Amino acid sequence: MEYRFKNKAEFMEKLEALLESGINPDDMKIVIPNPDHDIEHLVEHYKSPSKLKYFTLIGGLTGCFTGFFITAWTSLDWELVTGGKPFLSWPAYIVIAFELTILLGALSSFAGLLILGKLPQFSKMLNPENYGNEFVIITEDEE
């Protein structure tokens, strides 16, 4: 179903009524002529929390463990005594583990963004000329 409005007030009333009736914001498409923070805040209130943080957490932990594992493995493979330190001197490994935590956390966040956003979807892009200056709500719900 498609709802078209010329002014923002009627659009906001209908959008709030649809959201309060239980329609998930992910099941509707909202087309507006310009960015509007009021609409974003209204829709965010009804959305479920993002799962992107789990991608970042898993990537960061993987990077941390990988950093410690690679440096420890390298130290045990090439046993080089430097200044009388033991072979597994973990303070020296913190820098590598930190850098890999940041790197893999960022890369997994980007991958999660693409996966959760189902990007790229070139077939579902709307042409802005289709609606002009109208506020439009498109739902798959049949009332």
Specify the pLDDT at position 127: 65
Q: Is the pTM of this model over 0.75?
A: no
Q: Is the pLDDT of residue 142 over 60?
A: no
Residue 119 phi/psi, 5° resolution? -100, 150
The CA distance from 32 to 24, in Å, is 18
Could you give the C-alpha distances from 76 to 36, 79, 140, in angstroms and in order? 58, 5, 60
* Same-domain check for residues 31 and 78: no
Both tokens of 81, joined, read 């005594």
* Same-domain check for residues 109 and 58: yes
Tens digits of residue pLDDT in 97-129: 999 999 999 999 999 999 998 888 777 666 666
* Same-domain check for residues 36 and 58: no
Both tokens of 85, joined, read 């330190």
Q: Domains in the chain: how many in total?
A: 2
* Same-domain check for residues 66 and 91: yes
Parallel/antiparallel/unpaired status of strands 28-31 and 2-5: unpaired
